[in-house]
């Protein structure tokens, strides 16, 4: 079986310093993206290739490194295998002669290439598809008239698949070559030194000047600078941009985990998401990047939202907001399903893709399919300049800052706010009255303070979480506006606490799952004080009659234990109601002793199908 290495981190350095500590520090920052094995390769002073790699965490690969392990240029990798066992041999870098490579992505024709190379006498040291690339580059580099950049280009023309790669060759010191196709690579411009990484988090602290490679682009890096060109050997020109986050954004900032930090950042995240976007004169929203004039916006007859996981649940919340405020039919669907069902693309529908990373392959592929069929797609994306952001016709940046924890929290909230702004804008060019526009704007402005009130109740929520953690499973229920909240609450609990958590519309309970209710299966119920409160209370009565334990989240005490949250406008309440469920999941996982920022089997960005 081939072992893919797809949702991984790459870092590279060329310059006068010893690359080793720079690579390991970069890999530590990238570890949230993949953490089953890691490795580095550097070119030593006397031109020898030094390689260290190991199964496990970055710290395992760094442990006991001899003092002589020094050199530059260098490349590093942290891996999250999608199939095939993580092992020392499968860890990157992969080496062929004097060439070492690290690779993110999947080489689809690896089996065919491996068979040809094996027939030519090449011996493979690993099960990976990536190693094929090392041998192809080494073969092209065997010609002394071919420089490393050209050898990489020639090898890549034989590859079918996706890649973000970094390559060094000990027999051609002073240069590192990187390339991108479907897996991000960003260059960091230093002073007489160059960096590259799969993610800007590895560059923060070294430089703020970055260049994002496009798909099909290759870059040759030396201490003096870089040149970029295409797979067809055509030179390209790139504009550097300024990093919008500093090194501190990538630290836990005194919190025990990134997830705790990101939960606590939410008041500030909402303020940033709103900054400059509310128009007090017309009680609407200013959304500069939509690229949608009011006439086009009025012509929209449907809104279809796509995203994966938490991004999809935030899309459900968004669909609800758009229907309520703009009275445009709206729904959300997992992008991973949408892209495979040959969707009917309608010119009067506005498509909205949601993604924190802007890299999720299923979402990107769905956007590409929509654009190919002439659909108009907006992106609600956090990472500026990411693949999905660039693929869309326009959009709203979330401005939530880097989200490092695998479990998304602050970007769910920021997406909810972005959808509220979009719904307000679409509503106000239709039938939403100025008074209602002003009401929603005031509600949005109140959110940061109200989120802070919820955060201040963390200790109380932690006590309930410890109780929840004593069970093996939990139900999460909510009605209409409360249902996406319940789904996101269940998602948070299962991904970090590993308890089974199932979200159901409260209205559906009696159509089947009520049979499961017993003292052993607690229910977390989302019960806002809205027009459906009485219906929800009836459902809670049905659960209690079966001796089911209920922990409610709402605006007034409706169960033995209710986490009472501040009341906002009914349309915006779901944003607030989600916050205590994030804290509940966090403390349940903490009380079970799990590694919260690195949940098993998961990685932050899923850049594969």
State the residues that interact with ligand M6R by CB under 6 A. 308-311, 355-357, 360, 363, 406-408, 495, 605-606
Q: Which is nearer to ligand M6R, 99 or 606 (CB)?
A: 606
Specify whether the CB–CB gap between 39 and 61 falls below 8 A. yes
The catalytically annotated residue of 261, 304, 410, 604 is 604
Half-sphere exposure (Cβ direction) of 466: Cα atoms closer than 13 Å? 6
Dihedral Cα 421, 422, 425, 431, nearest 10 deg: -110
CB of 307 or CB of 528, closer to ligand M6R: 307
**Helices marked H in 210-265:** 258-264
Secondary structure of residue 428 in the 3-state scheme: helix
Q: Considering the complex, state which of residue 308 and residue 423 has its C-beta at the smaller distance from ligand M6R.
A: 308
- Cβ proximity to ligand M6R: between 303 and 353 the closer is 353
Question: Per the structure block, which two tokens stand in for 338?
Answer: 């949408």
Residue nearest to ligand M6R (CB): 309
261 is catalytic: no
What is the sign of the dihedral through the CA atoms of 258, 5, 187 and 160? negative
Q: How far is the CB of 376 from ligand M6R (least distance, A)?
A: 20
**First vs last Cα of the chain: how many Å apart?**
18
Considering only CA atoms, give the Rg of the chain: 25
For residue 601, give every residue at least 6 positions away whose Cβ sits within 8 Å of its Cβ, in sequence order, or none. none
Report residue 144 CA to chain centroid gap: 42
Q: Which is nearer to ligand M6R, 134 or 380 (CB)?
A: 380
CA separation for the pair 79, 99 (Å, rounded): 19
**Please, what is the minimum distance in Å from the beta carbon of residue 345 to ligand M6R?**
21
Question: Residue 302 and residue 157: Cα distance in Å, rounded?
Answer: 42
Map residue 261 onto helix, strand or coil.
Answer: helix
Strands (E), 398-516: 473-478, 500-505
C-beta of residue 506 within 8 angstroms of C-beta of residue 525 = yes
Query: Looking at beta carbons only, is 199 or 573 nearer to ligand M6R?
Result: 199
- In the bound complex, what is the minimum distance in angstroms from residue 457's beta carbon to ligand M6R? 22
The burial of 593, by beta-carbon neighbours within 10 Å (0-12 exposed, 13-18 middle, 19 or more buried), is given as exposed
The reply to whether 176 belongs to the active site is no
User: Of all helices (H) and strands (E), which one includes residue 458?
Assistant: helix 458-469
Nearer to ligand M6R, 228 or 360 (CB): 360
* Min separation Cβ 271 and ligand M6R, Å: 21
Question: Whole-number minimum distance, CB 358 to ligand M6R, in Å?
Answer: 7
Beta-strand pair 176-181/163-169: antiparallel
Least separation in angstroms between residue 127's CB and ligand M6R is: 26
CB of 407 to ligand M6R, least distance (A): 4
Which residues belong to the active site? 8, 604
């Amino acid at each position: 079986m081939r072992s893919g290495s797809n949702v991984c981190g790459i870092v590279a350095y060329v310059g006068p310093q010893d690359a080793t500590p720079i690579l390991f520090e970069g890999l530590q920052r990238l570890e949230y993206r993949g953490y089953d094995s890691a490795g580095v390769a550097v070119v030593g002073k006397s031109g020898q290739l030094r390689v260290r790699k190991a199964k496990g965490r970055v710290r395992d690969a760094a442990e006991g490194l001899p003092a002589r392990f020094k050199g530059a240029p260098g490349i590093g990798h942290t891996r999250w295998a999608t199939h095939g066992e993580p092992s020392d041999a499968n860890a990157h870098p992969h080496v062929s002669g004097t060439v070492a490579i690290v690779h993110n992505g999947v080489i689809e024709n690896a089996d065919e290439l491996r068979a040809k190379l094996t027939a030519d006498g090449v011996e493979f040291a690993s099960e990976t598809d990536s190693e094929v690339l090392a041998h192809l580059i080494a073969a092209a580099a065997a010609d002394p008239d071919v420089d490393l950049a050209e050898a990489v280009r020639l090898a890549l023309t034989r590859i079918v698949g996706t890649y973000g790669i970094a390559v060094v060759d000990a027999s051609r010191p002073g240069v590192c070559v990187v390339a991108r196709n479907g897996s991000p690579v960003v260059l960091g411009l230093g002073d007489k030194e160059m960096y590259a990484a799969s993610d800007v988090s590895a560059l923060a602290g070294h430089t703020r000047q970055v260049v994002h490679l496009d798909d099909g682009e290759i870059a040759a890096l030396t201490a003096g600078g870089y040149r970029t060109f295409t797979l067809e050997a055509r030179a390209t020109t790139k504009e550097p941009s300024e990093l919008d986050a500093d090194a501190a954004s990538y630290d836990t900032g005194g919190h025990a985990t990134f997830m705790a930090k990101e939960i606590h950042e939410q008041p500030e995240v909402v303020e940033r998401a709103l900054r400059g976007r509310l128009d007090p004169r017309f009680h609407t929203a200013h959304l500069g990047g939509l690229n949608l004039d009011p006439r086009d916006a009025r012509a929209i007859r449907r809104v279809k939202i796509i995203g994966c996981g938490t991004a999809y649940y935030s899309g459900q919340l968004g669909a609800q907001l758009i229907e309520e405020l703009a009275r445009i039919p709206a729904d959300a669907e997992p992008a991973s399903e949408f892209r495979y069902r040959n969707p009917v693309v309608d010119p009067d529908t506005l498509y909205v893709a949601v993604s924190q990373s802007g890299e999720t392959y299923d979402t990107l592929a769905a956007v590409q399919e929509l654009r190919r069929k002439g659909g108009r797609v907006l992106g609600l994306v956090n990472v500026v300049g990411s693949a999905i952001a660039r693929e869309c016709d326009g959009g709203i940046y979330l401005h939530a800052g880097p989200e490092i924890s695998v479990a998304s929290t602050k970007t769910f909230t920021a997406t909810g706010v972005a959808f509220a702004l979009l719904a307000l804008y679409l509503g106000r060019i239709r039938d939403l009255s100025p008074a209602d526009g002003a009401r929603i704007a005031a509600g949005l402005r109140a959110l940061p303070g109200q989120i802070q009130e919820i955060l201040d109740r963390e200790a109380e929520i932690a006590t309930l979480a410890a109780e929840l953690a004593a069970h093996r499973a939990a139900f999460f229920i909510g009605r209409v506006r409360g249902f996406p909240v319940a789904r996101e609450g269940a998602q948070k609990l299962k991904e970090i606490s590993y308890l089974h958590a199932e979200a159901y519309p409260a209205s559906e309970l009696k159509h089947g799952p009520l049979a499961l209710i017993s003292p052993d299966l607690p229910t977390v119920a989302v019960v806002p004080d809205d027009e459906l409160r009485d219906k929800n209370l009836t459902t809670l009565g049905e659960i209690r009659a079966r001796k089911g334990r209920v922990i409610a989240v709402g605006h007034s005490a409706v169960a033995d234990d209710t986490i009472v949250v501040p009341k906002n406008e009914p349309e915006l309440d779901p944003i607030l109601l989600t916050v205590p469920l994030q804290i509940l999941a966090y403390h349940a996982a903490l009380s079970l002793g799990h590694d919260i920022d690195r949940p098993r089997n998961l990685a932050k960005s899923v850049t594969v199908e």
